[in-house]
Amino acid sequence: MRHLPALAAVLWILAPLGAHAQSDSMMARMRPPPPPDTTRVEVFGDSLEAGALMGAVLKLNPDIESGRQAWTAADARTRSVGSLPDPMVEYMVAPRTLAGADAMNVYRVGFKQRLPAFGTLSRREEVAAGEAGAAHAEYRGAALHAVHEARLAFIEYSLVDREQAIYTHLQGLLEEVHRTALSRYSVSTAGAQEALQTEVELGMLDHERFGLVRRRRQAIARINALLHRDPLASLPPPRQESAHPPKPNADFWLSTQAHERPEVTAATERLRAAQAGISLARRERLPGIELQAAYDRFMVEEKMRAMVGISLELPIHFGRLSAMEDEARANALMAESRLKSERDRAALEATDAATRVPDYWHELGVLDQVVLPTTERAYKATRARYETGSMEFVTLLGAARDLARMRLERERTLADYLTARADLEYATGQFPAGWKGE
């Protein structure tokens, strides 16, 4: 039809009005990375090491990936809310003029573009940017939580393995004592009671080791859940580090202040979004406009066919507008209170963990340097005196129990120290080295 070039010309001239350039800050905003490749993640070797476990959790945990996708969605929304609405194109024709002897080339083609009030789009961008920042912080929070859970599960898994070794060593001691008691009984230097009591101790030891089996299964299930694996899947033994941990120094305490919990960051971003929401609600009182252009062949006079116009929105429903502002202010106050709450909770958790770390380290030093060596010497002396017949059997059993109890206490104190250290790193938002969460 002869009027189609006119329609195309109008669209070519007016279509750029629908484009909206994004601000420099939004263009510079970091985009979420592509999903990690989880098909080649090497999780296990001959032993399970804490650093390798945390690295695998960061790549395989579904909660972290869910948070990353939420960040991706929020970032995409930031790029969309700052754009103008799509323009409208209209075309009208009188059907009865299209055919017949008196056919006429009459039509109307028009273009409309709505323009929100000045500053509305930028405020929408600010709100969406705050929500995207909160989503990014929550993504990092999900990663930090998963890493913390992995640390605690590994600490428990390692503790069970060390306790198993202590019970195995105690079993060897009791079996030696049992053989000594049988030998003394065979030459009538002791009664059968000593050998029977040793057998009772061995039975109780088996009962304690059965509890370790249950705890080991629970720790394995926790680790497998964090790795999105079958809870019953097997794991290699943990890699043990028997050295006494170094003393936390002043630099360590200062370094904890250089990080911030993702929950605090998310609350800060949501407050920023809520404050931008107040400004956005106030912008609703400003009138929006709609630009119009048309070419109307229905008009007889040619100079009247090309037309331009403007429509003005009248924001006169003041009750609705006031309610929107009240809602925005309430959201901002709620976000401010949430930020205060998150900061208080982070400070409390950090202070609690920072208090426990040196306490457990000091207790561990006392056990390693004083209690354990003394208990081992006492057991050896008691064992030697029992074999010569100058010490009662009950005293020897008590010395063996004390030795095992002190060794267990040492390993549990080490686990408490490592747990407090992990809690402190979690409370201060410290991630594994090399992971930026970006």
Query: Is the CB of residue 239 less than 8 Å from the CB of residue 47?
Result: yes
- The predicted pLDDT at position 24 comes to 43
Query: 4-17+61-427 has which fold?
Result: Outer membrane efflux proteins (OEP) (1.20.1600)
pLDDT by residue, tens only, the chain of 438 residues: 444 444 444 444 444 444 444 444 443 444 555 555 444 445 567 888 888 899 899 999 999 999 999 999 999 999 889 888 899 999 998 887 777 655 567 889 999 999 998 888 889 999 999 999 999 999 999 999 999 999 999 999 999 999 888 888 877 777 776 676 666 666 555 556 666 776 777 777 777 778 888 999 999 999 999 999 999 998 999 987 766 777 776 455 545 554 678 999 999 999 999 999 999 999 888 898 999 999 998 888 888 899 999 999 888 888 888 999 999 999 999 999 999 999 999 888 888 888 888 889 999 999 989 999 999 999 888 888 877 777 677 777 778 888 888 988 999 999 999 999 899 888 888 888 767 666
Q: What is the DSSP string of 340-402?
A: HHHHHHHHHHHHHHHHHHHHHHHHHHHIIIIIHHHHHHHHHHHHHHHHTT-S-HHHHHHHHHH
Query: Is the CB of residue 293 less than 8 Å from the CB of residue 111?
Result: yes
Measured distance CA(314)–CA(400) in Å, rounded: 89
Query: Is the CB of residue 285 less than 8 Å from the CB of residue 321?
Result: yes
Query: Is the CB of residue 20 less than 8 Å from the CB of residue 116?
Result: no
Work out the angle between the directed axes of helices 393-427 and 372-387 (0-180°, nearest 10): 160
Please name the residues in contact with 267: beta carbons below 8 A apart, sequence gap of 6 or more: 134, 335, 338, 339, 341, 342, 343
Best CA proximity match to 390, nearest among 189, 214, 217 = 189
Written as six digits, the tokens of 192 are: 């059968």
**3-state SS, residue 109:** strand
- The predicted pLDDT at position 310 comes to 92
Q: What is the DSSP string of 267-293?
A: HHHHHHHHHHHHHHHHHTTSPPEEEEE
- The predicted pLDDT at position 39 comes to 41
Q: Phi, psi at residue 310, to the nearest 5°?
A: -145, 140
The domain spans of the chain are: 4-17+61-427
- Could you count the other beta carbons within 10 Å of the beta carbon of residue 272? 20
- The predicted pLDDT at position 38 comes to 45
